[in-house]
Structure 1
Amino acid sequence: MFKKIKAWAKKLKRQIFILYYACKDDRVPWYAKVFTACVVAYAFSPIDLIPDFIPILGYLDEVILLPLGIMFALKMIPKDVLSNCKVKAEEMMRNGKPKNWIVGSLIVLIWGVITVWAVIKIYQLFNYHEN
């Protein structure tokens, strides 16, 4: 079972690299580029939308959301573009993935805003009950 999971993860990583190159190709329609760029940016982000320390939900994005995004993106891209990008992806896999610190920073900002909002609401709730 561990070998199956490892093979699945390697295939997923390869597909992300294929999408990385596909979203830079001029033959890909604009709507596919936008969707693909979002999937790739999220995959390369060093921070998850749902943190992994949250039980069950923490791995939801890696197990369900990201594979679904990859599947839809691959269907939007012309087959000839995909075949060209597969070659480039193999080379990139040997060199390691790039990090998308912009998307990572955006996710940190979103979680920061949510945290500040939650703290303010809790503070207001406790002050309301004291009066």
Structure 2
Amino acid sequence: MWQRLREFARHLKAELLALSFAARDPRTPWPARALALLVLAYALSPIDLIPDFIPVLGQLDDLLLVPAGLWLALRLIPAEVLSDARARAAAHPARLARSAWGLGLMLALYALAVWLLWRGWLGPWWQHRS
């Protein structure tokens, strides 16, 4: 079982590297590029939606959100771009480093969510408006 998990983690890292190459390819449509950059920013950000110190939920967001976002982003990228990106990732395997851009994007998203909650725009449960 541990061997399968290690293989899955290696495959996920390779796909994230391929996604980073595909996101920089000019043949990638802008919606796929935007989603790819969001997935990469979340995957490489040192902060998560749910902090890792929270038991179970902290790891669950990484185990669900990153693969789901990766799956969706890869589906939006044209097949020829994706095959080129995978070949490039296989030829030049590199470790994706933590991203300051990812940290900045995640902090901006948190700030936006807090602002929307404060303004009462995320739902009636937060603040009753008359």
Q: Normalising by structure 1, what TM-score?
A: 0.76
Aligned to 2:89: 89
Q: Show the counterpart of 2:121.
A: none
> Is the contact between residue 42 and residue 106 of structure 2 (CA under 8 Å) also seen in structure 1?
no
**Could you tell me how far 1:90 is from its partner in structure 2?**
2.3
Which amino acid in the other structure matches residue 64 of structure 1? L
- In the other structure, the counterpart of 2:37 is 37
Distance, in Å, in 2 between the alignment partners of 1:102 and 1:26 is 20
Matched, 1:98 2:88: no
1:25 matched to 2:25: yes
In structure 1, the residue corresponding to 2:65 is in which secondary structure? helix
> Measured at CA, do residues 51 and 91 of structure 1 come closer, stay the same or move farther in structure 2, by a change above 3 Å?
farther
Give every structure 1 segment of 4 or more consecutive aligned residues whose post-TM-superposition deviation is greater than 6 Å: none
Q: For residue 48 of structure 1, report the CA deviation from its aligned partner.
A: 1.8
Structure whose alpha-carbon radius of gyration is higher: 1
Contact 1:17/1:92 (8 A) holds in 2: no
Once the two structures are aligned, what percentage of the paired residues are identical?
Answer: 38
Q: 1:100 to 1:92 in 2, by over 3 A?
A: farther
Count of residues in correspondence between the two structures: 112
Provide structure 2 residue ranges, at least 5 long, that are not aligned to the other structure: 115-130
Q: 1:57 Cα shift?
A: 0.8
Describe the superposition over 1:45-83 as per-residue Cα deviations: whole angstroms up to 9, x where unpaired. 122221111011101221111100000011001111111
Segments of structure 1 that go 5 or more residues without pairing to the other structure are: 115-131
Partner of 1:26, secondary structure, is coil
The answer to whether structure 1 residue 51 and structure 2 residue 51 are counterparts is yes
